[in-house]
Chains A and B, each alone.
Chain A
Amino acid sequence: RKEVEQDPGPFNVPEGATVAFNCTYSNSASQSFFWYRQDCRKEPKLLMSVYSSGNEDGRFTAQLNRASQYISLLIRDSKLSDSATYLCVVNLNDMRFGAGTRLTVKP
């Protein structure tokens, strides 16, 4: 079983749609959680951290469910510029990356 699992997608959504990604992790001792964004042929960049109480940054909402060992990312009012691969990252003593979920937002 992979340490961090994500649905690879692709998710194809129209502009303005709401889309949600889930990610599950296997190590219950994991301490911190992140979403990174990777544009096509570019490097990953931190999108947001995920806090136990859930957190929001503009159109993006991240949530953590420790009991079920999953984290989620919700994107509201999708923009064309949100098209990218979203990497779930789980941190214990080192960073464990999911393989990513690919999102395409279409006009």
Chain B
Amino acid sequence: DVKVTQSSRYLVKRTGEKVFLECVQDMDHENMFWYRQDPGLGLRLIYFSYDVKMKEKGDIPEGYSVSREKKERFSLILESASTNQTSMYLCASSLDRPYQAHHEQFFGPGTRLTVL
């Protein structure tokens, strides 16, 4: 059973703080993803990684960075948190690449981040 865990379910930070969101998966998946989910907008891809030390920008990378030092761990960093980064953050992992027909992503429980 695939398990994706995220370090916090709820987080409250102040504007300008540096924020770290951690994600760990236990299925030896090569591919990991960070999304944010906002009402009416669906999930939007922030960054993804297909291998250790590899990262690619998604649709909305501005204000974020990522780190993939180990295969099982993918961290999202908000360099200087702003109020418009208040959102639900979801991490996912997958065995296959997205362009493969039977691609399935397994999600963590999410971190609800509030920036005051």
Residues of A within 8 A of B (CB): 4, 8, 31-32, 34, 42-46, 49, 87, 91-95, 97-100
Complex CA gap A43/B90 in Å reads 8
Chain B, interface size category, equals 20 to 34
B42 touches A98 (CB 8 A): yes
Complex CA gap A49/B102 in Å reads 8
B101 touches A43 (CB 8 A): no
Told that A46-B104, A91-B98, A97-B43 touch, could you supply 9 new A-B pairs with CB distance under 8 A?
A: A32-B103, A43-B107, A44-B43, A44-B107, A45-B107, A49-B102, A95-B103, A99-B39, A99-B42
A94 surroundings in chain B (CB, below 8 A): 45, 48, 58, 98-99
**Could you say which of A43, A95, A100 contacts B108, with CB atoms under 8 Å apart?**
A43
Tell me the smallest distance from the CB of A85 to a CB of chain B, in Å: 10
**A8-B40, A94-B58, A99-B40 given; A43·B99 CB < 8 A:** no
Tell me the smallest distance from the CB of A97 to a CB of chain B, in Å: 4
B61 surroundings in chain A (CB, below 8 A): none
Complex CA gap A90/B54 in Å reads 24
Among A31, A43, A44, A93: residue with most chain B CB under 10 A: A43
Q: Give the 3 A-B residue pairs with the shortest CB-CB distance, closest first.
A: A43-B107, A97-B43, A99-B42
Complex CA gap A44/B104 in Å reads 11
B65 at the interface (CB under 8 A from A): no
B109 touches A43 (CB 8 A): yes
A93 touches B107 (CB 8 A): no
A4 surroundings in chain B (CB, below 8 A): 42
Complex CA gap A106/B34 in Å reads 34
Among B63-106, those with CB < 8 Å from A are: 90, 98-99, 101-105
Q: Give the residue name and chain of the A residue nearest to B107 (CB).
A: A43
A87 surroundings in chain B (CB, below 8 A): 42-43
